[in-house]
Amino acid sequence: MKSREIHNVAVIGAGTMGHGIAQVAAQAGASVILNDVSPEFIAKGLERIQANLEGGIQRGKLTAGDRDQVLSRVAGEESFETAVADVDLVIEATPEKEDLKRDLFEKLGRLTPAETILASNTSSLGVARVTDPAGRPAKCVGMHFFNPPHIMKLLEVIRTDRTSEDTLRSVDEIAERMGKQVIRVKDFPGFATSRLGVTLGVEAMRMLEEGVASAEDIDKAMELGYKHPMGPLRLTDLVGLDVRLAILEHLERELGDRFKPPEILRKAVKQGKLGKKTGEGFYSWT
Ligand SMILES: NC(=O)c1ccc[n+]([C@@H]2O[C@H](COP(=O)([O-])OP(=O)(O)OC[C@H]3O[C@@H](n4cnc5c(N)ncnc54)[C@H](O)[C@@H]3O)[C@@H](O)[C@H]2O)c1
């Protein structure tokens, strides 16, 4: 059977990830509705899309005509019910809280047509656990984008035991139009990317704690020795120490002690040192 082509997309949550996901969906030629809890958040998301596109023009990647076309395909919508009423795909990009996401998927199950594909951008929660309340398991999938979505090429597609092949084909098809490279991963805690990413990060933190080397030298080890574009501690500063702690706590519960968050991380988060966003983490960003 031919998979359903995706023409209309709703993105729920216009924050760090949601606005960028809306942008790449519009660049893929889809009509996009961007929803958030308040008109200010939606307006901010739309402004950020505009700024990303201006940046693309400055770098010679886009023309003014491309920008206008993309902007004409994205609309903000305050009403959740209206935003999702008539779309082929919903991508949920709200905060990493299981109860919030489950509640949204329960509503999506009631408010969208039965054939609408429902995707979550969760970076660590179980996709089946989060999407089950929709009551439409064959149409539910994880679409894990990377930050910033308009630049990063990877899309990690998470299939649950009940995601259909048809749904996966539709997701592959829009991913290709978005210019993404897909990896397919089973619905297992931390998927592939978060699990590997935090493994390196957690070991780097333990090494810092044990006084093996400075943060700069630990990062340089991976940058120059292994050609990583950025060392694990600097990357943790960019992702957010609080975000990494939440992922580690989840993985410790699901997979055991090897993901136990190091004391140095807990202490930094307690002190409000969350990385670049607060001006200090493993590095000072002032
Ligand atoms: N930040 C990253 O680097 C990153 C990378 C990959 C995946 N993720 C995942 O993406 C998701 C979103 O993360 P983020 O960093 O964009 O968060 P964020 O806090 O920047 O944005 C979340 C947005 O969702 C909105 N929201 C909250 N409740 C809502 C509701 N009921 N309906 C509509 N909108 C609602 C918030 O107002 C906010 O604007 C999380 O699951 C996170 O784990 C984040």
Could you tell me which residues come within 8 angstroms of residue 186 by beta carbon, excluding any fewer than 6 positions away? 158, 159
Measured in angstroms, how far is the CA atom of residue 228 from the centroid of ligand 1? 27
38 lines ligand 1 (CB under 6 A): no
Residue nearest to atom 28 of ligand 1 (CA): 94
- pLDDT tens digits, 244-260: 998 899 899 999 999 99
Domains, in order of start, for the chain: 8-186 (3.40.50.720), 193-275 (1.10.1040.10)
- Return the pLDDT at 2: 57
- Return the pLDDT at 248: 93
Measured in angstroms, how far is the CA atom of residue 15 from the centroid of ligand 1? 5
Stretches in the chain below the pLDDT threshold 50: 1
242 lines ligand 1 (CB under 6 A): no
- Return the pLDDT at 265: 98
DSSP string for 92-113? E---S-HHHHHHHHHHHHHHS-
Sheet holding 181-186, edge to edge: 74-76, 31-35, 8-12, 89-92, 117-120, 140-144, 154-159, 181-186
